[in-house]
A and B are shown apart, each in its own frame.
Chain A
Amino acid sequence: MDERYLPEEGPKWSDQRAERLLGALVCAVVGLLLALIVTVFVRAWPSFAHNGLAWLGSGGDIEEQLNQIYLSGLEGANYVYTFHAWPLIWSTLLITGGAVLLGLFCSLFVSVFIVEFAPERMRDVLQPVVRFLASVPSVIYGLLGVLVIVPFIGNHLVTEPQKASVAGVISLSGYSLLAAVLILTVMIAPLMISIFSDGLRSVRPGWLEGSLALGVNRWRTTWKIAVRSARPAIVAGTVLAVARAIGEAVMLAMVSGSVAFAPNPADGLIFIYEPSRPLAPTIVKNIDSLGSAPSNATLFAIAAFLLFSAALFSLAGWMARRAMRKYGATA
């Protein structure tokens, strides 16, 4: 129809205009994400370009390197970019890996418990508990870690001979891998539990009834049938938890010790008491040096690394969930 024949005053919210407006909003958000990705990588490029693959490698003292980078930016002209992030990456791997493995174990049992075995009253308690743990801000976890967990580890778990044995290298004060892993586990477990239990609930009852009718007991039925058919949900939950754990900055900045030190499993069991510093807290701790151009590039390089790995994991989780929806399960 010709534009002229439409009523002149028209409804204020014409359908086409609304669709265009909302479409523009969506495009803006998509554009913002693209801008974010491009900006982060462009800003990070000098650091990656100068170091090449050695950026991921080890060598040298991280604190010294960051300091040199910062100072060279203040002096101008000859920027220094040398940065070998391995201790930070190693610490991220250890803390994230430890927390996710521990969290996977706990969450699997707890979600099986919530869905299958818990008495009604216990379930009514557990579900709000999980929601509460998910909603506590990370800085509160950090505060409790610093004021309760860390002193406990430092005063009661680490023995004097152990402290003496590494005295020349690093001081064991309680800021440790152990504290970081334990607290991070509590932080990511609620996310895993909620996705796992959604998956377990959506298993077709017929399958379970079939197994029960064959005389398999409830426990075995749950593990062999329910948990196995909820596998996509378990993958999705785990992967999303990894993404969350990688990006956790503030809590880890508080409890991990903030020492650029690579805990060495070769030291024996003592290595779980050693302090370290993952990637994300490094950004928080060095945020004041953003004004120096090479420091800026280095911090953005760390951010780019985080962004890449977190995006990879959350996309994988999303794909796992979509695959699950195809088979009629929802999560």
Chain B
Amino acid sequence: MDSSVATPPAQKGPPAAPVQQSPRKKAVEGSATWQLSDRIGLAICWALGLLFCAIAVAIAVYLFLQGIKYLKPSMLFTPASAGFNQAESGGFSDAFIGTLIVAVMGISLALPAGVGIAVWLVEYGRPAALARIAESTIESIAGIPSIVLALFGTVIFSSTALGFLSRTSEGIVFGRSFFAASAMLSLVALPLVVASTREGLNAIPQHVREASYAVGKTKIATVRRILLPTARPQVATGAMLGLGRIIGDTAIIVVLLGATQNFAPVGSAFPLNYLRGAGTTLTNFVYEASPTGNLNQPQKAYAAAFVLLLMVLALNAAVDIVHRRARKAGTWSH
């Protein structure tokens, strides 16, 4: 950590949640003496707990089996094409790349904005009325169904002023592009980034800030040099949770990226033509390839879902690793 304040070793738990080392866990009283109704309740607890484990294992194992059966490495490198059966219709390379594009673009919008908002909320927050409004705004954005965000996106990106971000023909703006989808997806990730960053900033005790001010640092310098580096694990967690939400979202992709299964570049300027054009992502591919979609290629849907699940699991694992490292690095003492 390159901050000028050394992290003291762990002495107490994080200040946000006072640790409750409750003795009730140790003083175990068996359920043998309980009345029948209480024991039935405990049995329901066990049953439901095991049921949830079983559901998770079933989902994971089933998708792994189907994925291993149907996923061929070539699918990740061949674009989808028209064909009479599942063997002839290519793979889903465009969808795979599309997911990566959307993830990178979405999070590169959401991360700076989310961190900025969190810093403002925690460190500045003046006037208080605006802070309260901003707080409930973030809560409300988290509660907006993504399909509503998608419809809102069609209004924004079909306006002629933003026509350069997508395809325009005969004065009508198409409104479907990677730009449009990523912008709206960043709103999906924003609340998660804000919440996680705020949590990190709030966990830093006040005396750290005071020490920094005392040596003549300005507020923003304190934020940049000390607070944000210290809160980096939480910022990373927020970013990864946001990424997970972005790559898992389907409604916005279906509405704002188009129903095509291939890239549809617009113009010729190399990276921009792809970003301005319509495309697809893995979620969209799964949706269209399922029996209710237009392609109806369940085997490939399984393969794509398997790839998607692997990405989500990798993100989950990364969150875990960051958490564990942060805990090992220690927390602030008061």
Contacts and interface: CB of A to CB of B under 8 A. Distances in A.
A118 B126 CA distance: 45
Given A15-B219, A138-B248, A144 B62 contact: yes
Interface residues of B, number: 90
A33 B249 CA distance: 20
Contact of A243 (B38, B137, B143, B255): B143
Interface of A: 11, 13-15, 18-19, 21-23, 25-27, 29-30, 32-33, 36, 39-40, 43, 106, 109-110, 112-114, 117-118, 122, 125-126, 129-133, 135-140, 142-144, 146-148, 186, 189, 201-202, 205, 208-209, 212, 217-220, 223, 240, 243, 246-250, 253-254, 258, 280, 283-284, 287-288, 290, 299-300, 303, 306-307, 310-311, 313-315, 317-318, 330
B24 A139 contact: no
Contacts of B140: 33, 311, 314-315
Given A148-B62, A219-B31, A310 B120 contact: no
Interface in B241-294: 244, 247-251, 254-255, 259, 283, 286-287, 290-292
22 contacts: A13-B220, A14-B220, A29-B138, A30-B130, A109-B45, A110-B49, A117-B42, A133-B56, A137-B283, A140-B63, A140-B305, A146-B292, A148-B62, A212-B24, A219-B31, A219-B38, A248-B145, A249-B146, A280-B147, A287-B254, A311-B143, A314-B139
Interface in B45-63: 45-46, 48-49, 51-53, 55-56, 59-60, 62-63
Contact of A208 (B17, B24, B29, B120): B24
B316 A132 contact: yes
Nearest to B158: A290
B290 A137 contact: no
A314 B142 contact: yes
Contacts of B149: 36
A243 B147 CA distance: 13
- Which of A217, A258, A330 has most chain B Cβ within 10 Å? A217
B11 interface: no
A249 B143 contact: no
A315 B139 contact: yes
A202 to B, nearest CB: 8
Contacts of A208: 22, 24
A133 B143 CA distance: 19
B316 A299 contact: no
Given A201-B20, A303-B147, 12 more contacts: A109-B41, A110-B52, A113-B46, A118-B49, A135-B248, A143-B301, A217-B38, A218-B29, A219-B41, A287-B255, A300-B151, A330-B17
Nearest to B311: A137
B75 interface: no
Interface string B6-25: 00000000001100101110
Contacts of A318: 136, 139
Nearest to B33: A217
A41 to B, nearest CB: 11
Nearest to A39: B155
A90 B197 CA distance: 40
Contacts of A299: 151
Given A137-B250, A147-B291, A30 B152 contact: no
B155 A29 contact: no
B144 interface: yes
Contacts of A29: 113, 117, 134, 137-138, 141, 190
B16 A330 contact: yes
B131 to A, nearest CB: 8
B145 A307 contact: yes
A30 to B, nearest CB: 5
Given A146-B292, A284-B254, A106 B48 contact: yes
A149 B193 CA distance: 35
- Which of B33, B190, B250 has most chain A Cβ within 10 Å? B250
A301 to B, nearest CB: 11
B321 interface: no
A18 B220 contact: yes
B148 interface: yes
A140 B283 CA distance: 8
Contacts of B234: none
A137 B151 contact: no
A131 B49 CA distance: 14
B315 interface: yes
Contacts of B55: 133, 186
B302 interface: yes
Given A137-B250, A146-B291, A27 B130 contact: yes
Nearest to A133: B56
B148 A307 contact: yes
A143 B288 CA distance: 10
